[in-house]
Amino acid sequence: MYPDTTPNTARPNAPMTDDEAAAEAARIIADAYRPAPQTPTAHRDDTPVPAYGSAPPVAQPGRPPMSQGATDASVLMLAGGASTAMIGGTASVLMYVSQFADPIVCAIVFGAPTALVLALARLAKKAKPAPEIHHHYEGPVHQDQRTVHSRTTGVWAKTVNQQ
């Protein structure tokens, strides 16, 4: 099936003859076109990845890693900036096209919806219901839900804890 691939043992350092070179070329071509089960081209490591390790986390491309609150605030700031730019652009186009629009009237007309939306957003944020907390225990359990208020004052830090 494949050409003879025996090495030239009679003359180890001698150059190949034309017949040997043709046989070697045929062997290389046959190896390149050999079916996949005989020559694996990939390896998959299915060992489970540890839950934790000594390697530090690596930041991924895109937004930098931050807390959920910081992410929410940055999205809110981006949306506010985009809406401000759109409203300002619309007002400036209107003033340029009309050639006699009053800037104060434009500020009132275009600023009122933005102020209304921001006020409604603050009200909606404060009106969120408290999250439900579910605890599931088996066996005898003692729960202590006291709240401790801590206050640290002074140059030499005196801490007072009150229940």
User: Looking at the DSSP assignment, which residues form a beta bridge with residue 153?
Assistant: 158
Which of the 8 DSSP states describes residue 77?
A: H
Beta-carbon contacts of 8 under 8 Å, excluding residues fewer than 6 positions away, are: 14, 16, 20
Q: Are strands 158-162 and 149-153 parallel, antiparallel or unpaired?
A: antiparallel
Q: Which pLDDT value is given to residue 24?
A: 92
Rounded average pLDDT over 30-51: 74
Q: What is the pLDDT of residue 62?
A: 81
Q: Which of 21-30, 100-109, 147-156 has the highest mean pLDDT?
A: 21-30
Q: Report domain extents, the chain.
A: 70-126
3-state secondary structure 111-157: HHHHHHHHHHHHHHHHCCCCCCCCCCCCCCCCCCCCCCEEEEECCCC
Mean pLDDT along residues 49-62: 76
pLDDT bin (cut points 50, 70, 90) of residue 38 is low
Per-residue pLDDT, 40: 61
Kindly report the CA angle at 22 between 18 and 25, in degrees rounded to 5? Answer: 140
Amino acid at 122: R
Q: Which of 30-34, 85-89, 139-143, 150-154 has the weakest average pLDDT? A: 150-154
User: DSSP state, 76?
Assistant: H
Angular region, 26: left φ>0, alpha ψ -120 to 50, beta rest: alpha
- For the stretch 94-138, pLDDT in tens is 878 888 777 787 778 777 887 888 888 888 777 777 788 888 888
Helix (H) or strand (E) holding 159: strand 158-162
Can you give the pLDDT at residue 39? 58
Its pTM stands at: 0.30
